[in-house]
Chain A
């Protein structure tokens, strides 16, 4: 009681960090636009060159918003999985949900080899790719949950998740073997991850998916808190285990599945950000943790994207490589410093 939590302070700091990261992200890119001009454009002024306005409003702003949704959404789904599976190493990627999404995407992008007669190219519009990836991730998540009911042991579950990753990877390589170069290339580019290139329409769909997933997570916050004690304790507190579990699965499916569908499998944000957030917010209260994790994830993703963009050069690095380069050392550093990953 003596020590008042400083959450409001940290929330303000995170929001400021988000705004700063957003401005940096918007002002840097392959075409150098003076910072003042960037501000002028954002606030609706008239820039020196009309093309700058086009670059900022139709390319950089949607890209930055996508990065915010992806970073925040993946981080929240990672936090959900860590609590649900009682495992600090859980995350959308580790338990095969992203591999499920990639199987879904691969079946759509390269499935023509198997479904002779259909031209998949016609099928692949904004919606079908998102739906295919979502279905893929959702199916894998369901299977993992069914198995989770049977084994209960978290280590076994982690291994099962990894095995599902291997199985889907194998299926994807079978699909890849039977597909032509153009389809293969499309899939490989999808798997590199991409934050840019979403139209405002696609961004809208992604926004809705992330919003629903986020709202479901907040609605599950109370039950997630009870899960921190274990299922039997949760049950004794009046929590309906099955119902809340499904709510959490659906939230994760929407967040991780939807994001992977639009941006490809993006590594480590979901695993690392919840741990990073807990370094600052010394609480396990999900009502506080979920928004904080979202903001932290968004900031980190914006920064990763800024780096991937290789300012002033025309090249763009695969975002997936950058998040891994940032995320993996963070997890190692946390382990060395804390010796144990609590969640």
Chain B
């Protein structure tokens, strides 16, 4: 029973390129509906971890269970029905309408011609509405602001209707208001629709406020717990060199050390 509740279970995972791991002994497990951030310094392997979870690159060691099935055992199609991604790389063509972009999320479910059933169309419509895109549906992606485009990309992942959604730095290039908007929408998606959402971010303050769990990649122990537990254990204190930035446990924010 305990096993089934954990939709993502990562044990002893090592990620990296070639044969050299850039981050190893990563352990965490997430329940359905969990909203989880992966944080860490630049180059520590956050995106690499995310891409490894999505099978966009090979792992170097360890096990990954997705929806109680080892990632290796998933067929491409079953994997595409288990997890969806929002990547940092820009989409190739911005000549797509928002609706077409979101509709592409339905690909794993459509027949060889890609025809939509009424169910597909209602899922697409719901995704558009959830992310407040209904009025922008006919707009082309190149006409959107960064915040709108990011919302459209997340809506596409939602339309894929997978129990797990992975996002690589979903709020870069966005101002504070739009950062909070995206995070709040994601949190709603996780809690209301019971999606397990994992994202990498540099917004540690916001992650502490909003997430259920946080994975800190430090290249050594890689602690994983709820934000409060991590603060108690003092895990954020050692994240950056102390002489430059200091973590204030009371407010849960970083301060420049003057």
Find out whether the CB atom of A236 lies under 8 angstroms from the CB atom of B138.
Answer: no
Find out whether the CB atom of B92 lies under 8 angstroms from the CB atom of A284.
Answer: no
Q: Is A128 an interface residue (CB 8 A)?
A: no
Find out whether the CB atom of B113 lies under 8 angstroms from the CB atom of A222.
Answer: yes
Q: Is B100 an interface residue (CB 8 A)?
A: yes
Q: Is A229 an interface residue (CB 8 A)?
A: yes
Determine the chain A residues whose CB is within 8 A of the CB of B138 once the complex forms.
2-3
Find out whether the CB atom of A1 lies under 8 angstroms from the CB atom of B89.
Answer: no
Determine the chain B residues whose CB is within 8 A of the CB of A33 once the complex forms.
none
The number of A-B residue pairs with CB atoms under 8 Å apart is: 86
In angstroms, how far is the closest chain A Cβ from the Cβ of B56? 5
**A277-314 to B contact mask, C-beta < 8 Å, 1/0:** 01000111101000000000000000000000000000
Residue from B56, B93, B97, B110 having most chain A Cβ neighbours under 10 A: B93
Q: Is B249 an interface residue (CB 8 A)?
A: no
Determine the chain B residues whose CB is within 8 A of the CB of A2 once the complex forms.
138
Q: A221-B113, A230-B89 are in contact. Are A238 and B107 (CB under 8 A)?
A: yes
Find out whether the CB atom of A238 lies under 8 angstroms from the CB atom of B76.
Answer: yes
Roughly how many angstroms separate A227 CA and B114 CA in the complex, as a whole number? 14
**Chain A residue nearest to B76 in the complex (CB):** A238
Interface size on B, residues (CB 8 A): 39
Find out whether the CB atom of A233 lies under 8 angstroms from the CB atom of B91.
Answer: yes
Determine the chain A residues whose CB is within 8 A of the CB of B97 once the complex forms.
282-283
Roughly how many angstroms separate A238 CA and B105 CA in the complex, as a whole number? 11
Roughly how many angstroms separate A230 CA and B89 CA in the complex, as a whole number? 8
Within 8 A of B (CB), among A214-229: 219, 221-222, 225-229
Find out whether the CB atom of A283 lies under 8 angstroms from the CB atom of B100.
Answer: yes
Determine the chain A residues whose CB is within 8 A of the CB of B110 once the complex forms.
222
Q: Which of B80, B89, B112, B137 contacts A232 (CB 8 A)?
A: B89
Q: A236-B56, A236-B85, A284-B100 are in contact. Are A343 and B95 (CB under 8 A)?
A: yes
In angstroms, how far is the closest chain A Cβ from the Cβ of B132? 15
Roughly how many angstroms separate A239 CA and B104 CA in the complex, as a whole number? 12
Roughly how many angstroms separate A45 CA and B87 CA in the complex, as a whole number? 64
Q: Is B197 an interface residue (CB 8 A)?
A: no
Determine the chain B residues whose CB is within 8 A of the CB of A226 once the complex forms.
104, 107
Binding site for B on A (CB under 8 A): 1-3, 86, 219, 221-222, 225-230, 232-233, 235-240, 278, 282-285, 287, 342-343
Contacts A/B (CB < 8 Å), 21 sampled:
A1-B99, A1-B137, A3-B138, A219-B112, A222-B114, A226-B104, A229-B92, A229-B104, A230-B89, A232-B56, A232-B85, A237-B80, A238-B76, A239-B107, A282-B97, A283-B100, A284-B93, A284-B95, A284-B96, A287-B114, A342-B142
Binding site for A on B (CB under 8 A): 51, 54-56, 76-77, 79-81, 83-85, 87, 89-97, 99-101, 104-105, 107-108, 110, 112-114, 125, 134, 137-138, 142, 160
Q: Which 7 A-B pairs have the closest CB atoms?
A: A238-B80, A342-B95, A222-B114, A237-B107, A238-B77, A86-B92, A238-B76
